[in-house]
Structure 1
Amino acid sequence: MGTILISSAKLVLPNHALHGEVVDILIKDGIIDRVGNKLEMSDKDVQNIDANGLIVSAGFFDLHANFGEPGLETKEDIVTGTEAAACGGYTGVAVYPNTNPPLHSRSEIALVINTAKGNVVDVYPVGSISKKREGKELAEMYDMQRAGAIAFSDGNHSVQQAGLMSRALLYSKGINALVISFAEDESIAGGNQMNEGEVSTFLGMKGKPNLAESLMVSRDLSLAEYHDAPIHFTCISTVESVDLIRKAKARGVKVTCDVAAHHLVFRDDAVLGFDSNFKVNPPLRTDKDVKALLKGLKDGTIDAVVSQHSPHEVEFKNVEFQIANDGIIGLQTTLPLLVMAGLQAEDIVNKLVVAPRQIVRQEIPSLVEGSTANLVLFSVEDKWMFDSTTNRSKSTNSPLFGQELTGKVKAIVNHGQLVENT
């Protein structure tokens, strides 16, 4: 990589001695050599990056992304997924076991880790709780942990059996692991297409009630509290879930949670046009739910924001709403969505940099002299077009595709590699 001088960037990283100040950062061969003001280099081989007006922080970390490898590489493979992640400001991504075969043994975990070696973006596999994600029998969690799994989840299959989830929490406590719950009671959700409410009634579509999520959040909180085991909820979307988790935290339950960026911006009325790119799971909720999510972010009930990046081939999205697959691509649009939702730079750093790493016990890059350079340069004001020329995913299933967005990642540095967005 040689030598890079980043000049005049505002450093935003809590607990850093220069937090909030405009700094220059000199990087030599992937190591931060100096951090200060008005650094000058006479070396002709120095690559200068004018970061005036930009924010520099440790690289973003996504707690919930879906790549197709192994088995579903036509949706996304590790190469294209990490390219999208890099352009979205991420230097670390946790990938879920929604693959074929799922990440349910040490073989699949090792495959992901080995395939991603040498990449500018670190890829962390999340192993399945149950074999084949069928929710019947515990997978070999300890073997997967030793192979490199950082947490355990059945992905977009919620664990329906309370006894199995109870055993998973108890076992994970014994090996110092984290269970991630995707909360949906399938008997209540009924496989329905959108949020249950006024819009679903108007459209004549069967909806998923908030109860389908909050019932499962309540169950898993009770199990975690019973075993005194840590639990993380991913992609919560309802006012009831926020309230349940807030109360559980207050009484000392070891619980954390995240929200998908699109749930902070879009409401269920977006479905009125039957655009299948708005079909996600959990479904887009009401204005009341969105306000509760934003309040939960502000008061610390919700710890992190995720992309829930879910790529699909065109034949699974460019169809009638009722039969389209759930999900949107989100790695490159999480920052713009957070800007759209009104989050400030420090909030963005807390929810995309600090808390996600804390949840899965990963070291937060320090950005101090002598440390390995792991950083992102971004703007909350610059505009860019999200279209076929800027999209790095194999898929295009996003309601933001073809739009001008505010909030742009300019570059990331990790493992001695620099990736710049033009």
Structure 2
Amino acid sequence: MSSILLKSAKILDTESSHHLQTKDILVENGEITKIEDSIESADKIINRENLHVSNGFFDSSVSFGEPGFEERETLANGVTTARRSGFTSFLLNPNLNPVTDTNSAVKFLQQQIDTQLINIKPLGALTKSFDGKNLAELYDMKMAGAVGFYDFKKPIADANLFKIALQYVKSFDGLLFSFPQDKSIAGKAQVNEDEFTTYIGLKGIPNLAEELQIARDLYILEYTGGKLHIPNVSTKASVQLIKKAKAKGLNLTCSVALPHLFFTSNKLETFDSKYKILPPLRTKEDSKALTKAVKDRIIDMVTCDHEPMDEEHKELEFENASYGSIGLESAFSVMNTLFGIEKASELLSKPKTNFGLKTSKIEVNQRADLSLFDPNSEYIFQKQHLISKSKNSMFIGESLKGKVFGSIYNDSFYEN
């Protein structure tokens, strides 16, 4: 029998009768068997200063590189990165090579995932090879385990195709993701269109490009019914569109990426490619509106939008560099810095139920699915804190609050 004992852990779980209490927690063979004021012995004892524990962290947008882009990230190292960063479950984007767009591709990926000590659910592509023209094997991928369908950060330009896809997936309770950008408006611009980016001479993407796509998608969703998730919402007006759609009772969720809450386009002053992401960093006004929408629960979830990119594609002049930033290692600290520990732990654990992932309370006889951390530790986030194979983090050099000690999932423990 393997056992893990957490000593003097403050519990953060609003569904638990022990919420905000400091207790000893015993995990045996992947199950919580005791929660008491004092427990004496176990095979492994974790006794950390200011130890806090919550439900295992979850993220709705994580990219790795295997298969096809192993130079960016492998599955094994990606899982280690996630687990040591407190994550016990997440959705894996289909932007691999080959693209995850068939039943066999999902099955292959799931077989590789099942060898890891983590709960990963794959997303399938919405169209074949992300071509935006031909629907992929949606039903077959759903049967193989895909929890949703998403052409990763590639908008669906064809409105009729999007309508047909929403109608089709209703028959098997499928979930569509739609990236909010109208390419005909965005053109080849790579940053936000605002006073600052105009001043430094960069051609910008107007907010209209996002808002027009969202408005179109919401009109179609109202017409067809079905389920829709809008990832990476990034403008003030987008929030208002989503708020009105939810008031109508549409089956709709959305997310915002942490960089859009923490940074603004002013960071582009040095033309540093680590700040090149999609959607682009927006204005302070947008960032404030997004943060308020998270607090008001108009935005359902916050994602670290973890997107590894190798130096060959990232360490280039700004206009030639690839989009993307990694975020798993810094996610808890950034969220804790922005929202405080109770809201951060809620945002990091509760959204998994939106995608049909099981959650367990911090109670006796429940499966162990736990994240361990100190919410008060302050530090400067540095390259040395990165576990990912790729190092393209825009949070390097930022003052953050809160450090993760590790995670327990079933009977496995990953420790920092």
Q: TM-score, normalised by structure 2?
A: 0.97
Partner of 2:6: 6
What is the CA distance between 1:390 and its match in structure 2? 3.1
Structure 1 residue 203: Cα displacement:
1.2
Q: Report the TM-score, using the length of structure 1 for normalisation.
A: 0.95
Do structure 1's residue 152 and structure 2's residue 149 form an aligned pair? yes
What displacement does 1:350 show?
A: 1.9
Is the counterpart of residue 50 in structure 1 residue 47 in structure 2? yes
CA distance in 2, matches of 1:69, 1:385: 31
Matched position secondary structure for 2:26? strand
Q: What corresponds to 1:260 in structure 2? A: 257
- Structure 2 residues without counterparts, runs of 5 or longer: none
Q: What is residue 347 of structure 1 aligned with on the other side? A: 343
Q: Residues of 1 paired with 2:212 and 2:159: CA distance?
A: 12
Shift, 1:227, TM fit: 1.5
Alpha-carbon contact 1:70-1:108 (below 8 Å) kept: no
**Shift of residue 399, structure 1, vs aligned partner:** 2.2
Tell me which residue corresponds to 1:39: 39
Q: Would you say the 8 A contact 2:177–2:228 is kept in 1?
A: yes
Matched with 1:286 is 283
Give the letter aligned to residue 111 of structure 1.
Answer: F
Judge which range, 382-391 or 344-353, deviates more.
382-391
Root mean square deviation, CA, Å: 1.5
Question: SS at 1:333's partner residue?
Answer: helix
Match of 1:362 among 354, 357, 360: 357
What does the per-residue CA deviation read over 1:272-324, in whole Å, with 9 as the maximum and x for residues that have no partner?
A: 11010000000000000000001000110011111111111101111100111
Whole-angstrom CA distance in 1 between matches of 2:39 and 2:410: 23
| Cα displacement (A) at 1:335 | 1.2
Matched residue, 1:412: 407
Instruction: Give 2:10's aligned amino acid.
Output: K
CA shift at 1:212, angstroms?
Answer: 0.6
Tell me if structure 2 keeps the 8 A contact 1:7–1:52. no
Is the deviation greater in 231-240 or in 2-11? Answer: 2-11
Deviation at 1:121, TM superposition (A): 2.1
Cα distance in 1, alignment partners of residues 115 and 408 from structure 2: 13
Structure 1 residues 160-175: aligned runs within 5 Å: 160-175=157-172
Distance in 2 between the 1:50 and 1:330 partners? Answer: 27
Q: How many residues align?
A: 416
The structure 1 residue matched to 2:396, chosen from 397, 401, 421, is: 401
The answer on whether the counterparts of 1:54 and 1:377 sit within 8 Å (CA) in structure 2 is: yes
What SS does the corresponding residue of 1:322 show, helix, strand or coil?
A: coil
Q: CA deviation at 1:402?
A: 5.3
Unaligned runs of at least 5 residues, structure 1 = none
Matches within 5 A, 1:231-380: 231-341=228-338, 343-355=339-351, 357-380=352-375
SS state at 1:269 partner: helix
- Name the structure 2 match of 1:25: 25
Contact 2:173 2:226 in 1 (8 A): no
Q: 1:272 to 1:87 in 2, by over 3 A?
A: same
1:72-117 residue CA offsets vs partner (Å, 9 max, x unmatched): 1111121121111112210012111111211101122112211122
Shift of 1:386: 4.2
**Could you give the per-residue CA deviations for residues 245-284 of structure 1, whole angstroms, max 9, x where no partner exists?**
1111112111111111111100000001101000000000
Q: Alpha-carbon deviation of 1:361?
A: 1.5
Query: Do the aligned partners of 1:265 and 1:340 also contact (CA within 8 Å) in 2?
Result: no
| Preserved CA contact (<8 Å) 1:85 1:332 | yes
Q: Distance in 2 between matches of 1:419 and 1:70?
A: 24
1:392 aligns with 387
One-letter amino acid of the structure 1 residue matched with residue 354 of structure 2 = I
Partner of 1:79: 76
Amino acid aligned to 2:385: T
Partners of 2:243 and 2:369 lie apart in 1 by 32
In 1, the alpha carbon distance for the partners of 2:44 and 2:407 equals 14
Say if 1:98 and 1:156, in contact at 8 Å, map to a contact too.
no
Asked if structure 2 preserves the Cα contact closer than 8 Å seen for 1:129 and 1:138, the reply is yes
Cα distance in 2 for partners of 1:104, 1:76 equals 20
Amino acid at match of 1:324: A
Alpha-carbon distance in structure 1 between the residues aligned to 2:262 and 2:400: 13
Instruction: Report the Cα offset of residue 3 of structure 1.
Output: 1.2
Please give the secondary structure, in 2, of the residue aligned with 1:216. Answer: helix
Give the SS at the match of 2:123.
strand
* C-alpha distance after superposition, 1:363-384 (max 9, x if no partner): 1122221222110011222245
Whole-Å separation in 2 of the counterparts to 1:217 and 1:88: 32
Q: C-alpha distance in 1, partners of 2:165/2:92?
A: 20
More moved, 231-240 vs 390-399: 390-399
Q: 2:183 & 2:19 partners in 1: Cα distance?
A: 45
Out of 214, 217, 220, which is 1:217 matched to?
214
Bigger shift: 366-375 or 263-272? 366-375
Alpha-carbon distance change, 53 to 39 in structure 1, aligned in 2, over 3 angstroms: same
Answer whether contact 2:329 2:385 (CA < 8 A) is retained: no
Q: Post-superposition shift, 1:54? A: 2.5
Does residue 62 of the first structure (1) align with residue 59 of the second (2)? yes
Q: Report deviation, 1:400.
A: 2.2
- Report how far residue 57 of structure 1 moved: 0.9
Q: Residues 29 and 410 of structure 2 are in contact (CA less than 8 Å); yes or no, is this contact kept in structure 1?
A: no
